[in-house]
Structure formats: structure tokens, C-alpha cells
Amino acid sequence: MSKALVVFSGGQDSTTCLFWARKNFDQVTALAFQYGQRHYNELNAAREIAAEAKVPFHTAEINLFSRISPNALTDHSMEVDRMATENRPPNTLVEGRNMLFLTYAAIFAKAHGIDQIVTGVSQADYSGYPDCRNDFIRSLNQTLNLSMEVEFTIHTPLMWLDKSEVWKMADDLGVFEIVRDQTVTCYHGITGSGCGSCPSCLLRQRGLEKFLSGKKAVATP
Ligand code: ZN
């Protein structure tokens, strides 16, 4: 029996991955992290979506990011950058976040007899976060295998997809409405289409428009 653990946040990407995993593995578990993010609303959304998907849901706390490296997602006094500046990614980058999430996920997975790990990182449509890139994920996969003597496979189904293609994947999986209405991607923690103006909402919205216009073009010859 194939068993997968999904690193799950209740956002568009990881929700799409959750349903992708349900289609591709016999048994799926979701693990969400409480890491001092601005809005617990996303954890509530994650819990509800996992329940709807009938996937066991676990949470783990990693609460030290804001103490050791300032970033706008966990330091609530910082303004969220609108975009990347010339020399650095936007301040919504939480240094090392994916590395730690995947490391804790692997520890959890080993303890539960799971060897497949799924994460929604993407190289194609992000602001240059280094730990979302394929090279890093492949390197960490090898390191985790060596560190725990398990043949983990880290799956990244969204790695080369832009946001419109992520919407298409949700649609193909039959969960377009769940992703559109129940996920939280907004930096202000607003469910569904969000505040409409933060960088995360704009990215999501542009992807949705591109996906919907492509769909319309196919439907009307
Ligand atoms: Zn927003």
C-alpha cells in the first residue's frame, strides 16, 4: 500500500497537492505547520479541507522564525513587500521554511511508516524563493534519505506549473470550487479570492483569469 504525507497549509497549492495525492496514493495524511504565521485562518481552512477530503490532519509547531530572522509573514509589525527588489526576494520569504517543513515532515513520515512526501512548491511562479527550486528539493531528498536511512521520495507536482496550470490541475481533479472558495492564500488571511490586492492575491487572481479565459477559448470554437 502506498502512503503519502502532504505538507499542507490550506492554500491553493497545497490543497491541489492534497487532492493530487489522494488520486495517486492509497493512503494520504496531511501535516500543517503552525510557525507564527499572521493568520490562523489558514490553519482552520486546512483543517476543514482535510476533513472534507477525509484525510487525517496533524499540526506541528515551529515557532522560532521571527526570533531568528525577520520576515513579514511572522513579524506582524513588518509591512508586506509588494514585490521582489533588485537584490533580494520579497520580505515574505521565510528563510529555511521549506527546508524545515520537509525535514519535520520526513521525521513525521518515518515515524508513521510513510515514505512518499508531497509538497506544493513551484519554481515557475514564485518570487525567487531558493528553497522552492527543484535543485534544492532533489538535494534535500538525498540528504533526508541519508539522515534517516529511508528511501523517501519528495513529490513536487506543481514544480513546473504556473498558477493558471495549478488551477487547471484542480479543475481536472474535480476540486476547482473547493480550491477557489475554501483555500487561504491571501497575506491578510482572507478566505477564497482574498483581499484582492496583496501580491499573493494578485498572483492567484491573474492565474485564475488566465485559466478561465483559456477554458472559454476551448469551449467556444
Ligand atoms: Zn490578499
Specify the pLDDT at position 85. 57
Mean pLDDT of 139-163: 97
Cell of 120: 506544493
Number of H-type helices and E-type strands within the chain: 8, 5
The domain ranges of the chain are 3-219
pLDDT tens digit sequence for 175-219: 999 999 999 999 888 999 999 998 889 999 999 999 999 888 877
Specify the pLDDT at position 117. 98
What is the 10 CA–ligand 1 centroid distance (Å)? 15
What is the 186 CA–ligand 1 centroid distance (Å)? 4
Q: Residue 134 to residues 114, 140, 141, 210: CA-CA distances in angstroms?
A: 22, 10, 10, 25
Specify the pLDDT at position 63. 80
What is the 4 CA–ligand 1 centroid distance (Å)? 30
CA atoms within 13 A on the CB side of 123: 11
What is the 210 CA–ligand 1 centroid distance (Å)? 18
Alpha-carbon gap, residue 17 to 12, rounded angstroms: 9
- For residue 11, pLDDT over 90 is answered with yes
- For residue 8, pLDDT over 70 is answered with yes
Greater confidence (148 vs 83) lies with: 148
- For residue 154, pLDDT over 90 is answered with yes
**Residue of 111, 95, 103, 109 lying closest to 139 (CA atoms):** 103
pLDDT tens digit sequence for 166-185: 999 999 999 999 999 999 99
Which amino acid, one-letter code, is at 94? Answer: V
What is the 161 CA–ligand 1 centroid distance (Å)? 21
pLDDT tens digit sequence for 87-135: 666 666 667 889 999 999 999 999 999 999 999 999 886 567 888 899 9
What is the 190 CA–ligand 1 centroid distance (Å)? 7
What is the 201 CA–ligand 1 centroid distance (Å)? 4
What is the 192 CA–ligand 1 centroid distance (Å)? 10
**Residues whose Cβ atom is located within 5 A of ion ligand 1:** 186, 188, 194-195, 198, 201
- For residue 59, pLDDT over 90 is answered with yes
What is the 71 CA–ligand 1 centroid distance (Å)? 17
Specify the pLDDT at position 84. 54
pTM, to two decimals: 0.89
What is the 11 CA–ligand 1 centroid distance (Å)? 12
What is the 188 CA–ligand 1 centroid distance (Å)? 5
CATH H-level, domain 3-219: superfamily: HUPs (3.40.50.620)
Mean pLDDT of 9-30: 97
Specify the pLDDT at position 80. 65
Specify the pLDDT at position 178. 98
Specify the pLDDT at position 108. 98
Residues recorded for the chain = 221
What is the 126 CA–ligand 1 centroid distance (Å)? 16
Q: What percent of the chain has pLDDT over 70?
A: 83
Which amino acid, one-letter code, is at 58? Answer: H
Cell of 22: 489522494
Specify the pLDDT at position 66. 67
